[in-house]
Amino acid sequence: MSIPEAPSETIKRCCAAAYDHDAVRILVGDTLHPGGARLTERMGQLLSLTPASRVLDVASGRGDGTLVLAARFGCEVVGLDFGRRNVETATNAARERGLADKVTFYCGDAEKLPFADGAFDAVLCECALCTFPDKPMAVAEFARVLKPGGRVGISDLTRSGPLPRELEGLAAWIACVADARPLDEYRALLAGAGLAVGVTELHDGALVDFVDAIWMRLFTTEIMVGLKKIDLTGPDLAAAKDIVRHALAAAKSGVLGYAIVTAAK
């Protein structure tokens, strides 16, 4: 794979900067992962969350999933993201939704979690492990901060064959595509951290719907920018369209998919 010659810190910074850019809200929409709140709720069920659970949401983005879990299961949730603006946005959203007593957000690195051993009953990571340069390190950290008997859930892009060259650059990495792994590799990563792999669920249809919606948004945005109805500085829309077009074809052909995998300590 011809990915990032860039040092891993640069990849993390680029990724966080991309996801806390206003353009992402316009182009990707309100949810940053396939399946949105529905799949986050499903994850909460698979992790057996209750009001007594203390949960860590790794790479919590703007906090959408974190807030869904706190509202739906009544649990305490800590969100952590590399992007400072994401953390601010998430903190404000928690306050606006009256969930500030249940939810706290921190800025930090998934590969070096700033939490004590055994601090959480459950750890989840939605649509982000594929962007971490050192995946075994991140998963080892998930296992470390989990209590004995606790559960981990990851939901992520999967790949079942080679990707076109257009999906192998840094931008595609940030878009969660370039370093998507075969399903078995995610299971092996969890097992490699000493966890017992549990449920695997395929949600490939959610990925097709998600990428399709981004494709439509790109066209609308391009028209709005052309008509000077919105000013979108930052993203290269032509390059974004190229990646999304190839990602949609890969999702429709089954080369790219989306799955939830759980494991227990």
Question: In this structure, what DSSP letter does residue 151 have?
Answer: E
Closest residue to ligand SAM: CB criterion: 61
Q: How far apart are CA 258 and CA 180, in angstroms?
A: 9
Contact 181, 261 (CB under 8 A): no
DSSP H or E run through 216: helix 204-226
**Minimum distance from residue 156 beta carbon to ligand SAM (Å):** 10
CB-nearer residue toward ligand SAM: 72 or 225: 72
Q: Which residues bind ligand SAM (CB under 6 A)?
A: 12, 15-16, 19, 32-33, 59-61, 64-65, 81-83, 86, 109-111, 126-128, 131-132, 176
CB-nearer residue toward ligand SAM: 37 or 224: 37
**Minimum distance from residue 1 beta carbon to ligand SAM (Å):** 18
**Minimum distance from residue 228 beta carbon to ligand SAM (Å):** 30
CB-nearer residue toward ligand SAM: 83 or 235: 83
Burial of residue 26 (CB within 10 Å: 0-12, 13-18, 19+) is middle
CB-nearer residue toward ligand SAM: 142 or 166: 142
**Minimum distance from residue 207 beta carbon to ligand SAM (Å):** 12
Beta strands in 53-107 (DSSP E): 54-58, 76-81, 103-107
CB-nearer residue toward ligand SAM: 15 or 263: 15
- Bridge partners of residue 112, in order along the sequence: 109
**Minimum distance from residue 264 beta carbon to ligand SAM (Å):** 21
CB-nearer residue toward ligand SAM: 67 or 163: 67
**Minimum distance from residue 111 beta carbon to ligand SAM (Å):** 6
| Angle between helical axes of 84-96 and 8-19 (0-180°, round to 10) | 40
Beta strands in 71-173 (DSSP E): 76-81, 103-107, 120-126, 146-159
